[in-house]
Structure formats: C-alpha cells, structure tokens
Structure 1
Amino acid sequence: MTASSHTLGALPAALGIGVEDALDVLVFSVRDGFVQVSAFVAVTVLVFSYVQYRTDGRIVTYLENNERMQPLAGALLGLTPGCGGAIIAMPLYIRGTVSFGTVVAALAATAGDSAFVILALAPEAALYAYGLAFVAAVLFGYAIDLWGLGIGRVDAAVRRIGRPVTDGGFRTRSVAAGGPSVPDFEGGAHAEHGDGDSADTRMVTLTHGVHVLWWVVAVAGLLAGVTYLVRGAPDVPLTVGLTFAGVFTVAGLTGTLASFYLHFVGRHYIGAGAAGRIRDDFTSAYATFQHAAMETSMVTVWVIAAYLIYEYSIAVFGIEIAAIAASVGVLAPVGGALLGLIPGCAPQIVFAEIYAEGGLPFSALAANAVSQDGDALFPLLAIDAKAAVVATIYTTIPALVVGVALHYLWPHAQFGFGVI
C-alpha cells in the first residue's frame, strides 16, 4: 500500500468515521435520494409541464386577464411542488401584467424543491406546512395590493440596488410607485439553447438515449418509492435483482448517475429541456418529458448534496441537531424564517431533510415554508434586483408570524418520517 493510500484511509478515521462507513453513506445517499425524492419530483414536474402543453399556456393568459384573482392565482402557482409554478409569475411582473402582491403571494406559497423531501418522507407535515404557507401567502398578497403595508419604506431602504443585473442595464422605478420599468421584457427567461453546443451528433444521440433511460428508471423508482412508503419505510438492503430491494437499488443508482449526466453534460446537447427556464408552453409532448427530466435532474443533484451534507455532518461531527433545536426555543422558527432569505433550494432541502429525521420542530419547518423563495427569485433578481430584495423581505414577515405563533400555540406538533 502506498503512502497516499494510507493518508486517504487515515483521514476519515481521524474525523470519526471509517472508510467503509463513509462509502456506505455515499452509496446509500445516492440510491435513496433518487427513489425517495426524485422519482416523485419527476411526476409532479411532468404533470405541470403537460398541463402547460395541453392548454397552450392559457394558465399565463388567465393570470394576465384577471387582476382580482392574481394574488390567489399566484399563490396557487407557488403551491405546486418545486419552483416551476412561481417562476411563471416572475416574467409577468416584469412585463407589468401582474401586481407586486401577486409576486409576494407566489413566493410566499412556494414550497421549492424541499417540498419533495417532505412530501416523500413526511406527507402529513407537508399538508399542514404548505397549507399554512398558502393561506398566509393569499392574505399577505391581497393586503399588499390593497394597503401597501409599507412597501414604500422598504423600497426606499433598498433603493441603492437600483440597477438590475442585465446586459441592457435597465433602471427600475420604485416598486411602490408602479413596479418595474421593463414591461416589454421577454428576454432570457424564455431563451433556450440550440440543438447543442457541439457539432458532435453522436453526443446528441447519446444524450437522448440517456434521457429515455432516465424515464425508464424514474418509473421503476416511483414504483419502488411508493412500495417503500406503503411498507412503512423499512431498511432496504443494497442488492441487485428482480426483488423490491433490487429494483430499489438499481433504479436509485442508475437514476442518480443518469441525472448527473443530464444536468452536467446532457443539457449542452439537448438544451430545449434546460432547467431553470420559464416556459409558457411546450412545442411537443416530448419537450414536456425532456423539460421534466432536466428539472428533476437538477433537483437530484441538490438532493444528493443535501443528503451527503446531513449524513456526513452527523457521522463526522456527531451533531445532535434535535437537541440544538430544542434548546434554542423560539429561535428555531426564527432561524427557519431567516434561512428562507437565501435564494435557491439547496439550504431549504437540507433543512427539510433535518426535519424529516426528527431534528427540528414543526414551527421551524412551517416558517421556512413561508419564507423560502426557491429558484423562483433568480429570474426577478436578474432583471429587477430591487424588487426581488423587497419581495424576499416581505415573504419573511408572514413567515415569522406563522412560525412564532405555532411555537407558542402548537409547541409539540411533529409529523415525522413517513407519517401519512
């Protein structure tokens, strides 16, 4: 054995975890993340995309033409698991066709990609948390449109962030005085890659093949995931075969590998399905499947990262998150609300995973559910940074109210792993 291999073997042991245990954490996280979360993500994203395809984008048209229904419709879009629904509301605000209250309602109701973790591992908690987020989002969205709720003061406090991060360098007017100054913006939100950045048609063919394989294992993973929940979330051995455990393992490992390929490599060759793009409609049924696969592959990357961060933190540092959360009291929901200020889904996925493991009170989960904006904030940040900052501040306010109220009124609520 070489000196370098001695070093590699000694490092995990020095950190309190052996090489074999470290590999077990890696393999089981890679497998379980796809079956327990990603397979369910795929179905939800596909359904939403297919509805858009079959209706020729009439959901968007409805939002534009019904002003009184906008905050309610925005909250309904945000309530859909993942960020796809809320993302649709952002360009409509940029175009000047929906209100700022609609934006806040959509962001407040957004469960983000962490919703898939809770839906898969603690569905009863998802019902309560996202139900509360929806009610808070609707009420707060209408309140902003009707009474303002001090938007002008918050707007003034972030006025220095007045130049959106765009090539054109548009300047925006006051949010309180009428919203964005770029109502004609259509831009990169609808932009797609071409047929591929490379002329290598073999890579395009290969990527389409991986995409088809991805759906085959996603269906197998969904069946295994449903069976897993029905059986009460048992320990599943790592094995290969036509048994439940074998399908669970093969689907999980293959699905994750295919997801990583599609996210890091495949998107350059079948860019029409690129993740993080706002889609009013789709050109074909195949495009809806491709878009759903790309979106879910991105979620898979974050979910696996979250699983590994959590599991290695527990194994290496011996962190007792449940004890920490119990000791901080009301600061737990406050922390959940403040964490939601961070754009994107990665921190929220980790947060949801910790809750599913019994490490956080329900009040913290509910506060985070209201506060987090997921990936939906990124399009708004790119075009109107000031409006995005104001919006994310305003989603934190009802989050704090909901979280603190639950802490004092329902202190022992806890809906753990697999509760249905």
Structure 2
Amino acid sequence: MNELLEVFFASLRDGYVQVSTFVAVTVLAFGLIQYRTDGALLATIEDNERLQVLFGGLLGLTPGCGGAIVVMPLYVRGTVSFGTVVATLGATAGDSAFVILALAPEAALYAYAIAFAASVATGYLVDSVGLGVTRVDNAVSRLSPTATPDGGTVINSGIGPNPSHDYGCPAPTHAHESGPDRRSRVLTPLSHLAHVAWWGTAVVGLILGSLYLLRGGPEVALTFGVGFDGLFTVIGVVGAVLSLYLYAVGRHYVGEGQIARARDSFSSVYDTLTHAAMETSFVTVWVLVAFLIYEYAVLLTGLNVASVAAAAGVLAPIGGAAVGLIPGCGPQILLASVYAEGGLPFSALTANAIAQDGDALFPLLAVDAKAAIVATIYNFLPAVVVGIALHLLWGPVFGMAEFGFGVL
C-alpha cells in the first residue's frame, strides 16, 4: 500500500513540476500573442495563398492543439486549401509535445522537425496534384455516407469555397452550455481563488522545474518539508490538486468552461491567463492519467515495455502511427510518456507525431467529416513510411540507440 501511495504522489508531483509548468508558459505565450495582435495572425494566413501550407505547418508545430485548431475554421470558410489542413494536422504534436519537450527535448527537436518537413511536403503535394477530397469521394463515402462534399481544396490554382457549408454556423466548441450555474456564491469566488493560487504554484513550480533540468534531472526524494526536495514535492502535489479542481469544477465558474479550443483573441490579460490555466489543467489531467497507468502497470505486472517494443521491431513505428489515428490528446500523451520512460523507440514517437491530429480534428469532424477522414489518411501514410525508414536507418546509419534517445 505504501508503494502504491508513493507512486501516486510521485506521479502528481512529477507530472505538474516537470510538465505542466512548462505547458503553462507555452500556452500563455501563444495566448498573449493572440491578445496583442487581435487576430492579425489569422488574417496573414488568409492573405498569403502560396505560403498557407507553410504557415499551417508552423501553426501545427506549436505545442498543444491551439495553433492547429485555429486553421480548421479557415478551411470551412474556404479561405485556405485542403493541403494546408493536411500540413497543419500532420505537423501537430498536440499536448503530447509538452511531455516530450519537458522530458526529452533533444528527441522533440528531431521528431517534430521531421514531422514538420514531412507534413509540409505532403500538404504541397496534395495541393499541387489536386488530391483534394473530391478525388477520393467514392472511397470515403463508404466509410461516411452522410459526409459533405469537398470545398476547400485548390482548384485551377485558386481556393474554391464550399457552397454546401453553412459559414454562419458557430464553430464547434467544448463549452458546457447546460452545465452548472457559474454564479454560485461559494464556487465562483472559490474557483477564482484557486485560479490565482494555481498561477502562484505554477511560477514557483517553473523555477523548481528549471533548476531540476539544470541539475541534469536527478532523483528527487518524495518528502514534504523545507529544502529543494520538500518544495519540489509540496508544489507539485498542490499544483496537481489545483489543476484537477480547475479541470473538474473551476472551469465552469471561471471563464467560459471551454477546453481544447483555440480562440481568435482575448478581452483582457486576465482572460488570457484564465484560458491558459484551463488548457494546462486539461493537459495535466491527461499527463497524470498517463503517468499512473504506466507506473502502476510496471509496478503490478513487472512488464518491461521497452522489451515488448523492441521485440515488435518494425511494427513499433506502425503501431505509433496507428495510435495517432485516434482523435484527441489522451492516447498521444500516454505514448509520449512511455517514450520518456524508455519504453518506445524514436521511430514510433516520430510516426505518432506525424499521424496524430490531437484535438484539432474535432472541429473539422463536426463540420466536414469527409475532409477530416481524408486528411487523417493522408497523414497516416507518410507517418508509416517515415517511421519504418527511421527504424531501418537510425541505428545502422547514425549509430544511435532508438530507445531513450534524447531523454533527460
């Protein structure tokens, strides 16, 4: 029982200090750019047709799903090409990017650079050859008979709007419109207090996390008290608990109750801070789930995940790409966490980075299911090719071990 509790508290602590605090900084930075520019970034993308695929890849490359989610409504409006959608979704590493950036930054640099290059190349190929949704209508209609026809792909060197789309409809959202009353006498002030306290722990946690990285990622004793180890544990556990509260309760009383959705702009700095806190809390929950699943699986079964993946051989990167087909960030965070523990090869991580779409696929699925399915297929194919190539070439040619590459 003591060992189970130690794993639980260590996962809370490490997930918050080593991952969530760095997530908060990245999400906040992106939000402040949106707040200061008041949506000018989107206008730049719309006005540069030839560079749209590149811009889409760069937005997808930003950690989290925010940059990619921004692009999806532009395709629905017919202002960006289908190749831009493919490049954006392919370059997206979702919230799992935060895990790898925090725990294996060198691996993140290589994996996401490869994913960006492969996705942008695929996007330009889709646009130049005319591999839009209409070219695969018959095949996809068997999977999705009620899907709408194509609309945003490049036709005759121009971007044609989709007449079947209702451009006036609101963008898909994760808001809880029928959720709890956001004007509770108790929960509203309590949630705002928790939000402020969360940012306080995030600042301290960021300092501790940075010192942890500068020290080379040493073992930190699970102890509550004064000193580096004690503060590391206290801040980590408190920050994780506050994140769980904000995700489960607080987001209904602070802000709009939305998660995994980008916004064009923000009304104030506090609004920006609120959005960043809620997005980070969402990531924190999934990181904790991933950490606990992995740690308890190893503890209770004695399973050596690295040995299983090594025995899988070339199936490992194919499996990584297959996991990337699952919409959402949860499974991808779990895969990234397993890689950070040395349980998966680099080829599987890279294949997953290319194939996964994170939460960015949900808005497109809600409006144009056919386009979402085709974009996913277009990203899965290069993911498998690149993953297998890395598996065959990484060790023999570059003399590097696939397992544990870049992990701190």
1:189: how far off?
A: 3.7
Q: Following superposition of structure 1 onto structure 2, how do residues 13-412 of structure 1 map, counting pairs within 5 Å? A: 19-149=1-131, 151-160=133-142, 161-163=144-146, 171-173=148-150, 180=162, 181-182=164-165, 184-189=167-172, 197-272=181-256, 274-411=258-395, 412=400
CA distance in 1 between partners of 2:138 and 2:9 (Å): 50
1:414: how far off?
A: 3.3
Could you tell me which runs of 5 or more consecutive residues in structure 2 were left unpaired when the two chains were aligned. Answer: none
Three-state SS of the structure 2 residue aligned to 1:159 is helix
Task: For residues 93-125 of structure 1, give each alpha carbon's deviation from its aligned partner in whole angstroms, at most 9, with x where no partner exists.
Answer: 111111111111010000111111111111000
Q: Rate the CA distance shift 1:191–1:320 in 2: closer, same or farther, 3 A.
A: closer
1:382: how far off?
A: 1.4
Three-state SS of the structure 2 residue aligned to 1:127 is helix
1:417: how far off?
A: 7.4
Q: After superposing the two structures, state which structure 1 stretch, 49-58 or 190-199, moved more.
A: 190-199
1:70: how far off?
A: 0.6
CA distance in 1 between partners of 2:38 and 2:348 (Å): 39
* Percent of paired sites with the same residue: 60
Q: After superposing the two structures, state which structure 1 stretch, 266-275 or 72-81, moved more.
A: 266-275
1:272: how far off?
A: 2.8
- RMSD of the TM alignment (CA)? 2.1
Q: Rate the CA distance shift 1:103–1:413 in 2: closer, same or farther, 3 A.
A: farther
1:196: how far off?
A: 6.9
Three-state SS of the structure 1 residue aligned to 2:334 is helix
CA distance in 2 between partners of 1:283 and 1:193 (Å): 20
Q: Rate the CA distance shift 1:150–1:274 in 2: closer, same or farther, 3 A.
A: closer
CA distance in 2 between partners of 1:393 and 1:287 (Å): 37
Matched, 1:416 2:404: yes
1:278: how far off?
A: 2.9
Could you tell me which runs of 5 or more consecutive residues in structure 1 were left unpaired when the two chains were aligned. Answer: 1-18, 165-170
Whether the 8 Å CA contact 1:33–1:304 is kept in 2: the answer is: yes
1:60: how far off?
A: 0.8
Q: Rate the CA distance shift 1:213–1:184 in 2: closer, same or farther, 3 A.
A: same
TM-score (norm 1): 0.89
Q: After superposing the two structures, state which structure 1 stretch, 319-328 or 141-150, moved more.
A: 141-150
TM-score (norm 2): 0.92
Q: Which amino acid aligns with 1:414?
A: E
Whether the 8 Å CA contact 2:90–2:356 is kept in 1: the answer is: yes
Task: For residues 303-361 of structure 1, give each alpha carbon's deviation from its aligned partner in whole angstroms, at most 9, with x where no partner exists.
Answer: 00000111111111221111111112111111111110001111111111111111111
CA distance in 2 between partners of 1:186 and 1:216 (Å): 39
Whether the 8 Å CA contact 1:81–1:112 is kept in 2: the answer is: yes
Q: Rate the CA distance shift 1:32–1:26 in 2: closer, same or farther, 3 A.
A: same
Q: Which residue of 2 aligns with 1:168?
A: none
1:397: how far off?
A: 1.2
Whether the 8 Å CA contact 1:198–1:269 is kept in 2: the answer is: yes
Q: Which amino acid aligns with 2:296?
A: Y
1:225: how far off?
A: 0.8
